[in-house]
Amino acid sequence: MDYFARTEAAGQTGDNWLVYWYICGSDLETDYGSATDDIIELTNVQLPPNVKVLLITGGANNWQNDMMRPEELGLYLYDNNGIQEVGRYEDADMGSPQTLEYFLQVGKEAFEGEDLRRAFVFWNHGGGSAGGVCYDERTGNALSLNDITNSFANVYGTSESNPPFEMVGFDACMMATYDTANALKGISRYMTASEEVEPSNGWDYTRWVGALGNNPSMDTATLGKIICDSYMAGCREYETDESATLSVVDIGMIPALGKAYEAYGIEALKLASNDTRGFFSEFGRRAQQAENYGGNNREQGYSDMVDLGDLARRTIGILPQTSPALINAVDNAVVYKVNGRYRRQGKGISGFYSYDGDQEVLERYIAQQSVPLPQKCLYYYLVFGVFPQEAEELLAKGVSQGIATVPDVHAVQQQKIFQVSQLEDLSVDVDSEGNSFVTLTEDEMDLLSSVHCQLVYLGIEDDVLLVLGSDSNIVADWDTGVFKDNFFGKWPMLNGYPVYVEITAEEDDYNLYAVPIKLNGEKCNLEVAYNYNDDKYHILGARKGIDSKGMGSRNLVQLKRGDRITTLHYCMSLSGDDTDTTEVEVDTFTVGDNPRMEDEVVGDGNYGYFFEFVTPTGESAFSQMVRFEIKNGDITTNID
């Protein structure tokens, strides 16, 4: 018997529904009218009398319809009579828990005494465990996981055996996290959310609300499946499916997942306490390799979210006691998921990893009540280099129960674990075949989670160094410590123009890259996949990066004929003392019918090549420069 048959057999009954829809319009509405589009999708559905949708709108500087207004909150009911305005209220912050609590209270009082199955959908930007959801563009505030838990509990209370909500969903980016699901324990039976950044087409309200209206007695897991399938169908229609994700999580399985996740964190803490650099460098390599979301690189920004199942799979070798149980617990909790072809490794629920060592983000993460204590201690140790007292207690007791405090980020001075500056200007050698290489000791490799290459163009006559970007195209041997270049005089080019590229993911059969450009005057990143199955680049679309609040951009734009693209690079003077680069616009061209990215010959000239050494917290150092002189297609390697 499959999962959906089991849930139906378990006796989920009732066909009276109230769906809360919390629409924080933000720039998605102001600039693109995305909220209006989804409200129109809803109004295409003819609902029966026993299914109602209660909407609240706000959080945008402008609304692309005649019904909603930016200077006030709007409350609307959509039912078998169509959409009706319930009331207009004084403007309030959609990123405030008071507004969320007020909305919940209105719905509770309006339908007091009715035997309802309730669902709740958050609509807006999302930023994962630390960033929260529903960013109000007028106030700059967003709802944290603590805000969500407290607001629901204050209005409806909590009950793990009989939670007040059937489903809480997030039509927002990167909210399918363990910490989000744990925040909903006792509040909802299921969670439906995306691990990855969502495209602007988002959920298909015509299809999933229509399906609920046609069969309101369906079990909630099936409703979640319909949301996932209709979302993915919509992504295919809009050509935004290749990196899309959506999953349904059984909140009833979260306690078991939490137990496995805590045990995993405690095993990691034990190993880190015995061999700090050795463990964190190995763990960091696995976290870099695991499927992660939102970019987590210099160009796209950092969400610090990684798939839990894939991380556990890749750490079996270093965390053998707890990784298998964590994988099993993830599989039991995620009852359904969909994903595009460049997001096949994910298991449907993510966790935190500090990819760039940002202390403010870590502070927000630690502040969330739903985050397990072992993970708070582990990443505190990684970022601050101090083993917290709470971690000592965890290792002594083996469980987090009874430990009342959490690590205080303001109580210590940071002590860096990874002194990567010692690798700055590391000497490079050249072998008999003209390949440049570096040799690292075991202690030096213990500083690193990855080694990349950086290529620059040396304009000697113009006194300019132009950075072309980073790649993983090196021959790396972590057993011997030897890392060789794999440069053959080619680099990715967009319609024949050189571009800056930054590698964002390395999988067995594909790599992902970010290419900074201006698209019709707007700065964004072109998201590109290199597929080893056909040895071609595939342009997925253009999107802005993670913002300063940790929120992912939902507007994935497909290139079309007539678009104007300006390539962006970073440059500096060859002769000056300044080591900081400046962003510059280089080439501007118009897109034709078939925009393409290909590895092409860079041409004659002088090129600089660096090995880049990256720590588990995102800091880096560069080797001595290798100079490639290309003349008539022949490459000469020199060490300056």
At residue 505, the pLDDT reads 85
Contacts of 578 (CB under 8 A, 6+ apart): 572
Count CA atoms closer than 13 A to 117's CA, side-chain side. 19
Q: Do 319 and 219 sit in the same domain of this protein?
A: no
Q: For residue 28, is it within any domain?
A: yes
Q: For residue 402, is it within any domain?
A: no
Q: Do 120 and 268 sit in the same domain of this protein?
A: no
* CATH code, domain carrying 67: 3.40.50
Q: For residue 327, is it within any domain?
A: yes
Phi, psi of 24 (to 5 degrees): -95, 100
Q: For residue 545, is it within any domain?
A: yes
Contacts of 602 (CB under 8 A, 6+ apart): 457, 489, 490, 491, 498, 630
At residue 9, the pLDDT reads 40
* End residue of a domain, out of 228, 252, 276: 252
At residue 548, the pLDDT reads 64
Q: For residue 303, is it within any domain?
A: yes
Q: For residue 41, is it within any domain?
A: yes
User: Six-digit token pair at 233?
Assistant: 């169908």
Q: Do 302 and 248 sit in the same domain of this protein?
A: no
Q: Kindly calculate the radius of gyration of the chain based on its CA atoms and give it in whole angstroms.
A: 26
Distance CA(40)–CA(204), nearest Å, equals 11
At residue 551, the pLDDT reads 67
Q: Where are the alpha helices (DSSP H) in 244-334?
A: 254-274, 276-289, 308-314, 323-333
Q: Do 389 and 353 sit in the same domain of this protein?
A: yes
Q: Do 474 and 568 sit in the same domain of this protein?
A: yes
At residue 409, the pLDDT reads 86
Distance CA(25)–CA(71), nearest Å, equals 12
| Alpha carbon separation from 469 to 184, 227, 240, 457, 523 (Å, rounded) | 42, 39, 26, 10, 17
Q: What is the DSSP letter of 551?
A: P
Q: For residue 356, is it within any domain?
A: yes
Phi, psi of 310 (to 5 degrees): -70, -40
| Alpha carbon separation from 167 to 127, 187, 293 (Å, rounded) | 20, 9, 24
At residue 580, the pLDDT reads 82
Concatenate the DSSP letters of all residues of 115-169 into one string. --EEEEEEES-B-HHHH-B---TTT---B-HHHHHHHHHHHH---SSS-SEEEEE
At residue 10, the pLDDT reads 39
pLDDT digits (tens, 9 = 90+) for 223-254: 999 999 999 999 999 999 999 999 999 999 99
At residue 461, the pLDDT reads 86
At residue 12, the pLDDT reads 44
At residue 300, the pLDDT reads 79
**Closest alpha carbon to 541 in 526, 523, 561, 520:** 526
Q: Do 123 and 107 sit in the same domain of this protein?
A: yes
Q: Do 243 and 268 sit in the same domain of this protein?
A: no
| Alpha carbon separation from 457 to 570, 597, 628 (Å, rounded) | 11, 19, 10
At residue 103, the pLDDT reads 97
Distance CA(516)–CA(30), nearest Å, equals 24
User: Six-digit token pair at 127?
Assistant: 């930023």
Per the listing, tokens 């610090």 go with 304
Q: For residue 363, is it within any domain?
A: yes
User: Six-digit token pair at 431?
Assistant: 């072998």
Q: Do 176 and 34 sit in the same domain of this protein?
A: yes
* End residue of a domain, out of 208, 237, 252: 252
Sign of CA dihedral 487, 492, 495, 500: negative
| Dihedral Cα 32, 36, 38, 44, nearest 10 deg | -140
Q: Do 33 and 173 sit in the same domain of this protein?
A: yes
Q: Do 393 and 426 sit in the same domain of this protein?
A: no
At residue 11, the pLDDT reads 34
Q: How many domains are there within the chain?
A: 3
State the greatest distance between any 2 C-alpha atoms of the chain, in Å, as a whole number: 83
**CA triplet 259, 265, 271: central angle to 5 degrees?**
140
Q: Do 236 and 268 sit in the same domain of this protein?
A: no
User: Six-digit token pair at 283?
Assistant: 């763990």
Q: Do 191 and 68 sit in the same domain of this protein?
A: yes
**Closest alpha carbon to 105 in 160, 181, 164, 163:** 164
* Distance between start and end Cα atoms, the chain: 68
At residue 194, the pLDDT reads 98
User: Six-digit token pair at 349?
Assistant: 């629920």
At residue 298, the pLDDT reads 75
Distance CA(558)–CA(234), nearest Å, equals 15
Q: What parts of the chain have a pLDDT lower than 50? A: 1, 3-13
Range of the domain at 595: 420-639
